[in-house]
A and B are shown apart, each in its own frame.
Chain A
Amino acid sequence: MCQVGEDYAEPASEEPPPRQPGREQKCVKCKEGLPVVVIRAGDAFCRDCFKAFYIHKFRAVLGKNRLIFPGEKVLLAWSGGPSSSSMVWQVLEGLSRESAKRLRFVPGIVCIDEGAACGLSPEARAKALAEMKLILQTVGFPWHVVALEEVFDLPPSVLRCFAQEPVGTEGAYKAAVDSFLQQQHVLGAEGAGDSPSLAQGEEQLSWPCTQDPQNPQSPDRPPTAAQTEALSRLFDSVKTLTAKEELLQALRTHLILHVARTHGYSKVMTGDSCTRLAIKLMTSLALGRGAFLAWDTGFSDERHGDVVVVRPMREHTLKEVAFYNHLFAVPSVFTPALDTKAPEKASIHRLMEAFMLRLQDQFPSTVSTVYRTSEKLVKAPRDGCAAGPPGPRCLLCMCALDIDTAAPLYLQTVPRLLGLRLPCICPRRSPPPHRPLHPAVLQGWGGCRAAVGGPGPARALLSQGGPPSPRHRAAVLRLPCEHEGLALPGPPAALHLGRGPAPQPEGLHRAADPGVPG
């Protein structure tokens, strides 16, 4: 790899000296078993050592970061894909071990049915759902299957950033673990089994939680056709695949967090593997999210305040995950995603994925290099102005804005997503007096850079006071789309985003403040 500090790798055709196949080669760890898989460059592992290595990595990532306290409720986000299935399996196995090394949290599984966004037919969705339920029942954790359409029913409180819980110090974690162990000890001595934490020695089948597939607070029903229609109209109105994927991620995140909050989970685990995170990092760079890389790809993501997103699979490469799933028969479900069968140049995500995998072929240390760089990123604004009061946050990704906004923006699209009703605001005439919006929604709306996007032909100049003036550096908000922008779903005349007047030449607008180009 043309990595700083290393020479260029040998050209791909030059293999390491070919070893004799078969009996002579042994596992590099135990030196006895027959190797079945090669990890990294030339490390051949036998089946048992590979399993131990894999499990150890999972536990080490959790243990090193010390964020998951014993007895805590953790929601596992399962998409059916290989990485998240592997994660669920690891948790399953981790909970069933002998008590000293047992994982000590209380898991639940959430699965989001995104069929409507991907354009699947109801039959295909039902079929995928049935397969998933089969696996969920085998795993045995309390599970929630939520359709993406429910994002329309989210309350506006999801947009409010809750106060962040103080991060536990080293001492606090240790104290928590010690007290938990004591508690277990006491319980074991008494033989009672009704503590809220893990039952001693019981398998996970004795969970008291319900197995109801839906949110117990809402009636048990599949999403209505009208909701499905609204969701597919929303996604159809987004013109580029890049924007669709970003929108899907934002909606999915909000929905998962909502489920977590409703059911009292304080942590969410996602199954992003090392390879996926490296690709995500480069994609975020290209989308302008350089300020938020640490949150997007780090181990823990606390921007939502009360619920922390954790990525325990971040040190496992996709190759390891695939081999583990194959060797140890981890069940997974394939569901078509937004970009299944999309051509390579269809979106930034696809491009980056293809590029990284191709480069990885040629320079085998690409992914690990990018991953290591991501470990050096910290969660702070670059010039250390974090000490001041927290600024406005992006509506979609809840990160502090990284551009200047001259005036708060009154978003049109997201409130509609969330079911609020707003009259449409045309940028060219003064807006009609609108009904009072939810105060949480009004405060400090803005779009972060990725949503705002660079100067493009489509601009939605949404300001409260009439047509924009050149001095009015309102951050232009549009969900990332390149040409015509979002057309709103719904009967009222949709906000038409045409080519807004660019009051200044593009470069001037950009160069107006080189310290903070926006």
Chain B
Amino acid sequence: MPAPQCATCHKARAALRRPRSGRALCGACFCAAFEAEVLHTVVAGRLLPSGAVVAVGASGGKDSTVLAHVLQVLAPRLGISLRLVAVDEGIGGYRDAALAAVRRQAARWELPLTVVAYADLFGGWTMDAVARSTAGSGRSRACCTFCGVLRRRALEEGARLVGATHIVTGHNADDMAETVLMNFLRGDAARLARGGGLGSPGEGGALPRCRPLQLASQKEVVLYAHFRRLDYFSEECVYAPEAFRGHARHLLKLLEAARPSAVLDLVHSAERLALAPAARPPAPGACSRCGALASRALCQACALLDGLNRGRPRLAIGKGRRGLDEAGPPRDGEPERAPAPDAVPAF
């Protein structure tokens, strides 16, 4: 049976059915619809005002590639200019190939690219070194904890280097749903209270960040990249198999198969969670060492690095962060340095 007609233009043959609505669309109409939706998200949420210099966190993966492409298409309409910022965590065998992809993209789109490396920013601590330091004694290496915090710090640094006013990342709806599941399973009330919404407005001097792709499903991101023939890097991080997020991801796939609207339902739920005031994170101040946004005396990045440098990498992970040079009773959880949900960006 031949494929149905495209439901929008009625001319071409449909090439796909959109995952959520089931409408049959041809490639061009689908891409147009996708771009229209992202535009609407940005405009309705007033995420990127006209004249903004936007730093796109580019990792070479499908999400950031699609994000950069769509923003480039929309840039004239929104009146923004783009800069690519790539972070080199120093994961051998993975990040080098990804960075090569980013460089190709930057050349193709003619966008300025800045690469910031952990090794330069954090005193020689690459992720491989961190993994070596935290390995052993039957415990997990908690790589994602370090990488996520440090990457956000690195992105902020890179954005300031290029003079950006906003940071965008390529988190999609599936990422947000996984984050909600993960935070609930881990009992991370602080992040649950902080999460939801379309990004953070930038408190205390931190640059405002947003996620324009937040309402797009992962399948659509992949399809868009396919139809626009975008070149991206699609391998998994070397440390991904040990991450707890894998459980949440697996569960999400099952839920989505049983009920396609589960992804957006989770995002909807997360936005409406009402947590007790005691469970919410304290109002952020400034880190005493680096001046970045912090809920305690030290921002999380500085605290983690402190632990690494002292040879006790788990110092800043866990309740209370005992042993650090700060007074205060032990508290639950580890409020993140910046008020952004701790999703491992699926770049």
Determine which of A1, A14, A287, A352 lies in contact with B265 in the assembled complex, contact meaning CB atoms within 8 Å: A287
Q: How far is the CA of A226 from the CA of B261 in the complex (A)?
A: 35
Given contacts A2-B244, A370-B187, A507-B33, is CB(A290)–CB(B272) below 8 Å? yes
Determine which of A1, A281, A290, A499 lies in contact with B268 in the assembled complex, contact meaning CB atoms within 8 Å: A290
Q: Is B231 an interface residue (CB 8 A)?
A: no
Chain B residues with CB under 8 A of A281? 184
Q: How far is the CA of A240 from the CA of B260 in the complex (A)?
A: 12
* Beta-carbon contact of A517 and B267 below 8 Å: yes
Chain B residues with CB under 8 A of A373? 184, 187, 189, 192
Determine which of A355, A379, A511 lies in contact with B215 in the assembled complex, contact meaning CB atoms within 8 Å: A511
* Beta-carbon contact of B258 and A348 below 8 Å: yes
Residues from 245 to 283 in B contacting A, C-beta threshold 8 Å: 247, 251, 254-255, 257-262, 264-276, 278-279
* Beta-carbon contact of A7 and B268 below 8 Å: no
B130 CB to closest chain A CB, in angstroms? 15
Given contacts A4-B333, A381-B272, A499-B22, is CB(A351)–CB(B258) below 8 Å? yes
Chain B residues with CB under 8 A of A499? 22
Q: Is B229 an interface residue (CB 8 A)?
A: no
Q: How far is the CA of A506 from the CA of B215 in the complex (A)?
A: 10
Q: Is B139 an interface residue (CB 8 A)?
A: yes
* Beta-carbon contact of A293 and B255 below 8 Å: no
* Beta-carbon contact of A285 and B266 below 8 Å: yes
B7 CB to closest chain A CB, in angstroms? 9
Q: How far is the CA of A514 from the CA of B41 in the complex (A)?
A: 7
Report the interface size for chain B: residues with CB under 8 A from the other chain. 65
Q: Is B140 an interface residue (CB 8 A)?
A: yes
Given contacts A376-B279, A378-B276, A511-B37, is CB(A4)–CB(B332) below 8 Å? yes
Q: How far is the CA of A348 from the CA of B139 in the complex (A)?
A: 32
Chain A residues with CB under 8 A of B267? 517
A506 CB to closest chain B CB, in angstroms? 4
Please report whether the interface of chain A is mostly helix, strand, loop or mixed according to DSSP. Answer: loop
* Beta-carbon contact of B319 and A5 below 8 Å: yes
* Beta-carbon contact of A511 and B41 below 8 Å: yes
Given contacts A372-B187, A454-B20, is CB(A482)–CB(B260) below 8 Å? yes
Q: Is A442 an interface residue (CB 8 A)?
A: no
Q: Is A282 an interface residue (CB 8 A)?
A: yes
* Nearest chain B residue, comparing its CB with the CB of A359: B247
* Beta-carbon contact of B332 and A5 below 8 Å: yes
Determine which of B40, B188, B198, B254 lies in contact with A512 in the assembled complex, contact meaning CB atoms within 8 Å: B40
Q: Is B181 an interface residue (CB 8 A)?
A: yes
Determine which of B186, B197, B274 lies in contact with A291 in the assembled complex, contact meaning CB atoms within 8 Å: B274
* Nearest chain A residue, comparing its CB with the CB of B252: A286
Q: How far is the CA of A67 from the CA of B41 in the complex (A)?
A: 46
* Nearest chain B residue, comparing its CB with the CB of A458: B22
* Beta-carbon contact of A369 and B187 below 8 Å: yes
* Beta-carbon contact of A382 and B274 below 8 Å: yes
Q: Is A24 an interface residue (CB 8 A)?
A: no
Per-residue contact bits, chain A 282-300, to B (CB 8 Å; 1 contact, 0 not): 1011111111011000000
Q: How far is the CA of A246 from the CA of B188 in the complex (A)?
A: 28
Per-residue contact bits, chain A 323-337, to B (CB 8 Å; 1 contact, 0 not): 000000000000000
B310 CB to closest chain A CB, in angstroms? 18
Q: Is B67 an interface residue (CB 8 A)?
A: no
Q: Is A184 an interface residue (CB 8 A)?
A: no
* Nearest chain B residue, comparing its CB with the CB of A354: B254
